Structure 1
Amino acid sequence: MDGGVAGVVTELVRAQRAAGFVVTVACPEGGLGQALRELGADVRHWPATRAPGPSLPGEVHRLARVVDEVRPDVLHAHSAKAGLAARLTVRGRIPTVFQPHAWSFEAVGGLTAAVATAWERWGARWTAGVVCVSEAEHLRGLRAGVRANWRVIPNGIDPARFRPAADDAVRAALAPLAGLDPAALLVVCVGRLCRQKGQDVLLEAWPSVLRRVPGARLALVGDGPQERGLRHHASEGVLFAGAVANPVPWYQAADLVVLPSRWEGMALAPLEAMACGRAVVVTDVAGARESLPPGHRAHCLVPAGRPRPLADALTRTLLDPSLRESLGHQGRRHVLTAHDVRYSAEAVADLYRELLDAGSTVAHRAEHTECRERIRS
């Protein structure tokens, strides 16, 4: 309901509505549902929790009612929990596309990871297509033993919405709200405050950055389960901006954007930042690595979970304005070429059409066979 998955769903719905699709979205009440209604989607209230648990049977039952009412041609389930509930609900009776947005078994360990892996293998039989947002996510699924009709469709963003702007003007507008010093160098991290996104590593690295770049500021944009602990360990120069409906001004105000994730499918934040003409520093995990243009990797990739290399990369980039400007220009061109949401939405639509055509062929063959049997009898 928040973070990158919500962003992907919103941009996909926006593009699908513009292309003339009739789109119904089942989700819990909240900001995502309201945003999708404003785009013209039919939003159905589906009470559901983030993780599997005792509420799952009731969630499946409620989702079944929605499916019966809407009678969709294709069902597209985003993220592990929705993928679990949707496939248990439909069990292959409707062409079902599953998009994991990072595999469930990567977020857990031990017995829980084994159970999650076993489910993904089993659930694939009720899945007409699996959409991975990076080649690395696809390979992780294969290595886990998931057998599926695969599509790798990189995440896309709207370059008309995420676009460059004069950072001094944007920062001046944000300053009264966020307490920013318009003259200070600003590092921005946009993401849910959780272990996956690695803000704890970033806060451990920040004092080293501050010693070498006095007066620099770090803004954490987002909320999440680790917020209290992160606040407790935050040092000087760190601002908690909270969740925001529109992160664009924060990207535009930044001198540098950082995403210190431990794992990713393909994060939106680096793509959004590059579309805004900003240099990025990301950890060398598969989904983040694939989001960068090849020329960025020497400057912008750091090992995951290691504060010192992260601090060094942030410091080096902050102290080199010409490098930041060059990386920002290259990043914008890369997004326009490879990550425009229109390309992603059309690739998804092509998959829908393929599944519907295949279903029509199967139905036609079945009808033809039934007709022949009637003639024989």
Structure 2
Amino acid sequence: MKVAVVCPYAVDHFGGVQHQAIQLVDWLREAGHDSKLIAPGRSGGPLGTEHLRSSVNVPGNRSVSPISLNPLVYRQVLEAVDGADVVHVHEPLMPLVGWATLGARPLVATVHASPSRLVRTMYHRAGRGVRKIFRNVDVLTAVSEAAAAPLRLSGLHPRVIPNGIDVASYTRDNRPGTVVFVGRDDPRKGLDVLLDAWPGVLERHPEAVLTVVGTARPTREGVRFLGVVSEDVKRRVLSESSILVAPNLGGESFGIVLAEAMASGCALVASRLDAFAKVAGGAAKFFPPGDSGALANAVAGLLADPKGQRRLTKAADRAVKAFDRSSVLDAYLKAYGDAVEHTGS
């Protein structure tokens, strides 16, 4: 099967949606399918990626999105997907690349974002208009219940296919006293909450080390800032860490870094967000979003409790199986087949 995977976010920027799109192309190829990625950016992505025009950074959802706003991408996208057996677009409502795919058929569309309360209200009140936007989508999917719920308010019926990881490819060399954060330097990722909490952790565990992946900041006591790193470096740091902290403030629909950390043998300390609870369940210690004191107590308590860490990692070993590549890829292949059948019916 020839599958054109379209991502509206620039692949020369670090991001969860980009990573999922790139990974999916690789998995499809390994399964014997002819797949390519189409996305903004000047570089990045698997071999054969069709790079669209350069991107601009647009703020939204307490983050920054590197997208293309050049009207010429409409023609580029349609030319790039021509000849595909099925087109799979991630974030179809993200301009302009996502919009350009809405005329392609057969079409599978995946929604990743968990929108704000205001946007959810708009989905509910403008149900007919939302359904009209998606009228050419043969199979609509969402990565979580948090992402699916607003679509259902509009009368749509998305399938939930979670973000995936190759569980067996992660290694473990977890070292006591090592804590890791993985994420961009966006306010909603909550890094400032963690940094505010860290002195309280060091008071009780002076030997503890926090490694920050994906963000560069001025040096702080007991903190290593690695900035943006390769996938291999990120995996190595996760494998060497005993605890992952996800202090996000909101706006999350999934939390792929939680799944990656579970596969790497990390115990989890995370904000009490619905999306995180769905992913981690009983494999995490949760704290109220934005509460640096509660975060410090959770991390310090877990550092002092190796048995507690082991209980969480055992629970993680069970939970992470739901996000393994085998089940995720099978679900998408089923969606592709259904989209082709729907178009021909």
Same fold (TM over 0.5): yes
SS of 2:184 mapped into structure 1: coil
Structure 2 stretches of 5 or more lacking a match? Answer: 1-10, 59-64
SS of 1:244 mapped into structure 2: coil
Go from structure 1 to structure 2 and tell me whether the alpha carbon gap of 1:284 and 1:122 turns closer, same or farther (over 3 Å shift): farther
Q: Would you tell me which structure has more strand in proportion to its own residues?
A: 2
2:225 to 240, 246, 258: 240
Cα deviation, residue 325, structure 1: 2.0
Q: Which residue of 1 aligns with 2:288?
A: 303
2:308 to 300, 318, 323: 323
1:136 to 127, 143, 146: 146
Q: Which residue of 1 aligns with 2:7?
A: none
Go from structure 1 to structure 2 and tell me whether the alpha carbon gap of 1:88 and 1:4 turns closer, same or farther (over 3 Å shift): closer
Q: Which residue of 2 aligns with 1:158?
A: 166
Contact 1:303 1:309 in 2 (8 A): yes
Q: Which residue of 2 aligns with 1:21?
A: 33
Go from structure 1 to structure 2 and tell me whether the alpha carbon gap of 1:158 and 1:151 turns closer, same or farther (over 3 Å shift): same
Provide the TM-score with structure 2 as the length reference: 0.82
Give every structure 1 segment of 4 or more consecutive aligned residues whose post-TM-superposition deviation is greater than 4 Å.
Answer: 117-122
Contact 2:279 2:319 in 1 (8 A): no
2: CA distance, partners of 1:296 / 1:9? 26
1:239 aligned partner, one-letter code: R
Q: Which residue of 2 aligns with 1:286?
A: 274
Structure 1 stretches of 5 or more lacking a match? Answer: 169-183, 362-377
- Give aligned-pair identity as a percent: 29
SS of 2:135 mapped into structure 1: helix
- Tell me whether 43-52 or 301-310 shows the greater mean CA deviation: 43-52
2: CA distance, partners of 1:12 / 1:259? 24
SS of 1:160 mapped into structure 2: helix
Confirm whether residue 89 of structure 1 aligns to residue 81 of structure 2: no
Q: Which residue of 1 aligns with 2:242?
A: 255
Structure of higher CA gyration radius: 1
Number of residue pairs aligned between Structure 1 and Structure 2: 319
Deviations 1:124-176 (A, max 9, x none): 23322222111122113334x3x434110122211121132x335xxxxxxxx
Q: Which residue of 1 aligns with 2:78?
A: 64
Q: Residues 25-44 of structure 1: matches in 2 within 5 Å?
A: 25-29=37-41, 32-33=44-45, 36-37=46-47, 42-44=48-50
Contact 1:128 1:149 in 2 (8 A): no
Go from structure 1 to structure 2 and tell me whether the alpha carbon gap of 1:120 and 1:265 turns closer, same or farther (over 3 Å shift): farther
Confirm whether residue 334 of structure 1 aligns to residue 323 of structure 2: no
Go from structure 1 to structure 2 and tell me whether the alpha carbon gap of 1:285 and 1:80 turns closer, same or farther (over 3 Å shift): farther
Q: Residues 258-277 of structure 1: matches in 2 within 5 Å?
A: 258-261=245-248, 262-277=250-265
Deviations 1:220-273 (A, max 9, x none): 1003xxx5xxx36x7421211111112111111112011111231211111111
Q: Would you tell me which structure has more helix in proportion to its own residues?
A: 1
2: CA distance, partners of 1:131 / 1:283? 26
Q: Residues 344-355 of structure 1: matches in 2 within 5 Å?
A: 344-355=328-339
Go from structure 1 to structure 2 and tell me whether the alpha carbon gap of 1:286 and 1:211 turns closer, same or farther (over 3 Å shift): same
Q: Which residue of 2 aligns with 1:5?
A: 17
1:199 to 181, 191, 210: 191
Cα deviation, residue 96, structure 1: 2.2
SS of 1:193 mapped into structure 2: coil
Contact 2:283 2:313 in 1 (8 A): no
Deviations 1:312-358 (A, max 9, x none): 111111111121122223212321x3111110011011011011111
